[in-house]
Amino acid sequence: MTPYEVAKSVHVTCAALSIGGFVARFQLALRGSALLRRPWIRVAPHVNDSILLAAAIVMLALARIDPLHVNWLQAKIAALFVYILFAMLAMREGRGRGVRICAFAAALLSFGFIVSVALTRNALAPISALTR
């Protein structure tokens, strides 16, 4: 495997762990589980997401890509911020259950958009698929 392929494998694996962990933590949050207060459950997502980001940076460096000049990467980065916003709303205590569930669904849609753009390298692919 080339260094780029290794970085991509790490990135994809961490992305899968990230969304899987988010879904699991959201289920625990809806149940009010005390497990969410365990240190490793609070720290692990940050460690994983840091590795995810580092792998993305390594891929960009190895491919010599400036993400500010590639439309599909700009869309992916913008959608990442949207995902983070909705994920925070979904996990935040003090919000109504309905608001949290809607934010969770929006976070999942944002994640789906990110994956779709990454796979097609086309910022409009998810939108054009809806109009078919």
Span 24-54, pLDDT tens digits: 999 999 999 999 999 999 999 999 999 999 9
Is this prediction's pTM over 0.75?
yes
Task: Show the tokens assigned to 92.
Answer: 């935040």
At 37, give phi and psi (nearest 5°). Answer: -90, -5
% of residues, the chain, pLDDT over 70: 97
* Helix ranges restricted to H, 32-96: 39-63, 71-91
Rounded mean pLDDT, 84-93 = 94
pLDDT on residue 39: 95
For residue 87 the two structure tokens come to: 């994920």
d(CA 88, CA 83): 9
Q: Which of 131, 46, 128 is nearest to 84 (CA)?
A: 46
d(CA 49, CA 18): 7
Burial class (CB in 10 A: 0-12, 13-18, 19+), 32: exposed
For position 95, what pLDDT does the model report? 81
Q: Give me the pLDDT at residue 94, please.
A: 80
pLDDT of 114 above 70: yes
Mean pLDDT of 61-84: 96
User: What span, in angstroms and rounded, lies between the C-alpha atoms of 35 and 42?
Assistant: 9
- Using pLDDT thresholds of 50, 70 and 90, give the confidence band for residue 132: low
pLDDT at 125: 80
